[in-house]
Amino acid sequence: MYGSKWKRIVFSLAVAGLLSIGLCMLLNRRQIVQADPGNVWFAKSDGTGSSCTQAQPCAPQIALAQASDDDTIYLAQGRYTGTGDAVISVSKSITLYGGWDGTTTAPPARDPQAYPTTLDGENKRRGLYISGAVSPRIDGLTITDGNASHASTDPGFGGGIYSSGASPVIANNVIENNTASTSTNKTGEGGGIYIANAGNGALIEGNQVLSNVASSAYHGYGGGMYLLLAPSAQVADNVVLQNTASITGGGGLGGGIYVSLSDGATITSNRIEHNVGQQGCSPFISYGGGVYCYNTIGLTLSSNTIRHNTASVSSSGNGGGIRIKFCDRVTVAGNTLQDNIGCASTTTGSGRGGGLETYRSDVTISANWVTGNTAGLGTSPSYGGGLYLSRDTSFTMTNNIVAANHSNYQGGGMAFETGGASEPVSGILVHNTFAANDQGSGEGRIAIHLNTPYVTLVLTNNLISGHTYGVYATTNSTATLDHTLFYANSAGDTGGAGTIANANPVVGQDPLLNSEYHLQLGSPASDAGIAIPWLRNDVDGDSRPFGAGYDIGADELYIRSMFLPVVLKK
């Protein structure tokens, strides 16, 4: 009886919790407001007439001309081409659906994968042009071979989709092989998607953004997508894969995504992989292989997988995964930053920040996995295999796992750059795990390297294992440590001519990390930290503390109870 009662209570609490979480998610995600559906129109690539019905579809231009705000247009499977600047132009708050099977089935049957609707720019024009203070929904299209090089409006911006002044919903599309610019003297922006002046927000969700190029012959920004003046824009659940900001002849910023002047934007739960800032021959430094944030307040980067991106293939490159410049109150939380590279050249150029690089920014870095990143592959000095924080940056770093990153010169885990006393770097590091960031050489095997003057760090409850030095400070830099677990740092737990205060260390005891850098039963890190009441979760979202005290490092060791059935003999 009592067991049944408690099961019902637990079940009720679980349901209530899930409902509460769902409600919070709905409330926190800002929606683009759209009115109730109006009339419905149907179009085919070879449609005729002007009735635009399901039985007698018209050409898409006819449907677009007749539709009003809040109407819906279904585009049948097929290949659509056009004349002028774009295959299709939208200037009304309509819904444009691709993937209609072309039959008279009621309701209309849609499957964009089985019945692809392809807007083919033929490398002559954009795929889609959106303008005006409207809020259209673009859903289920394939947009390919767009080229904005010779557009009459904003040439070089938005090869696949161009939107200015609108607040669109761009959902469930395939946007591939588009080019913003082929010019040798004009910057290209937004190879796949370009969103500008979206005062009421924009939603880019569930798309595949593949193999797009911002510029093939000069500077390029945002190979996959470019957001400019798009406050509270949402980029969620997309695959951003194999895009390039600049192929040759210029610098590349944001191989996957470039965000500028877009306060409150969110980039959440995306796969951002195998993107490149700068691909070919260029004397310019390139930045942000995966994501580039510029001059934006309140950007949130959360729960993304950012892997195998490269800032520059042939020259110097900073921020293989993420580059943040002139951005305040940025949150980088719950992401996987893995196997990114700053500079991939083995002969020329240096790299800074294989996983993440900042410049004059204010950043909160929380519960990320920063593993296997490389600052630079060549022999030129490279800094900060995992992270590189520079010039007037302030940061708070909690619950991160920084492991197996590579630098050939300074700071396998973290390195810094200041511009003297007027451009210091300051940081608070609480409950992080630094492990085996010794994949490089020399001082590149140091976990946390205060490699320049005027760096000030305060560290509490961190675990640092498997380096030459754990924390190394140069002259006029300061690190204040409390309750740090050091292990297997071959040259010393701390070192350098700078000032290091090391209170209450735990030394000489194997932390018993498993292959995923989590604590195992019996770890000396368990319950060994000082209480940090404001930090209530660990890297996995488990509650802190569990047991008698706070565990040192990013992981809070949980002992899961197991109840076995009791077998009674008669």
| Amino acid 442: pLDDT | 87
Q: CA 294, CA 357: separation in Å to the nearest integer?
A: 12
Query: Mean pLDDT across the stretch 380-405?
Result: 97
pLDDT at 53 exceeding the cut of 60 = yes
| Amino acid 12: pLDDT | 36
Q: CA 552, CA 511: separation in Å to the nearest integer?
A: 9
Contact 296, 265 (CB under 8 A): yes
Q: What percent of the chain has pLDDT over 70?
A: 92
| Amino acid 35: pLDDT | 40
Query: Mean pLDDT across the stretch 273-291?
Result: 93
pTM of full prediction above 0.85: yes
Question: Quick one: tokens of 369?
Answer: 């996995």
| Coil/strand/helix, residue 255 | coil
The sign of the dihedral angle between the CA atoms of 447, 294, 311, 162 is positive
| Amino acid 280: pLDDT | 81
Query: Mean pLDDT across the stretch 510-516?
Result: 98
Q: CA 438, CA 196: separation in Å to the nearest integer?
A: 43
Contact 266, 298 (CB under 8 A): no
pLDDT at 3 exceeding the cut of 50 = no
| Amino acid 6: pLDDT | 28
Q: What is the DSSP string of 415-464?
A: EEE--STTS-EEEEEES-EEE---SSSGGGG-SEEE-SSSEEEEEES-EE
| Amino acid 475: pLDDT | 97
| Amino acid 19: pLDDT | 39
Query: Mean pLDDT across the stretch 77-96?
Result: 97
Q: What phi-psi label fits residue 74: left (phi over 0), alpha (psi between -120 and 50 degrees) or beta?
A: beta
Place of tokens 């279904």: 74
pLDDT at 23 exceeding the cut of 70 = no
pLDDT at 30 exceeding the cut of 90 = no
| Amino acid 440: pLDDT | 83
**For residue 37, what pLDDT band results from cuts at 50, 70 and 90?**
low
Strand ranges for 477-538 from DSSP E: 478-482, 485-487, 492-495, 499-503, 506-507
**For residue 28, what pLDDT band results from cuts at 50, 70 and 90?**
very low
**For residue 486, what pLDDT band results from cuts at 50, 70 and 90?**
very high
Determine how many CB atoms are found less than 10 A away from the CB of residue 305: 17
Whole-number average pLDDT of the chain: 92
Q: CA 401, CA 336: separation in Å to the nearest integer?
A: 10
For β-strands 341-343 and 174-176, DSSP reports them as unpaired
**For residue 439, what pLDDT band results from cuts at 50, 70 and 90?**
confident
Contact 322, 311 (CB under 8 A): no
**For residue 561, what pLDDT band results from cuts at 50, 70 and 90?**
low
Query: Mean pLDDT across the stretch 226-231?
Result: 98
pLDDT at 233 exceeding the cut of 90 = yes
**For residue 281, what pLDDT band results from cuts at 50, 70 and 90?**
confident
pLDDT at 214 exceeding the cut of 70 = yes
Q: Tell me the residue type at 274.
A: H
| Amino acid 36: pLDDT | 47
Q: CA 517, CA 552: separation in Å to the nearest integer?
A: 12
| Amino acid 565: pLDDT | 56
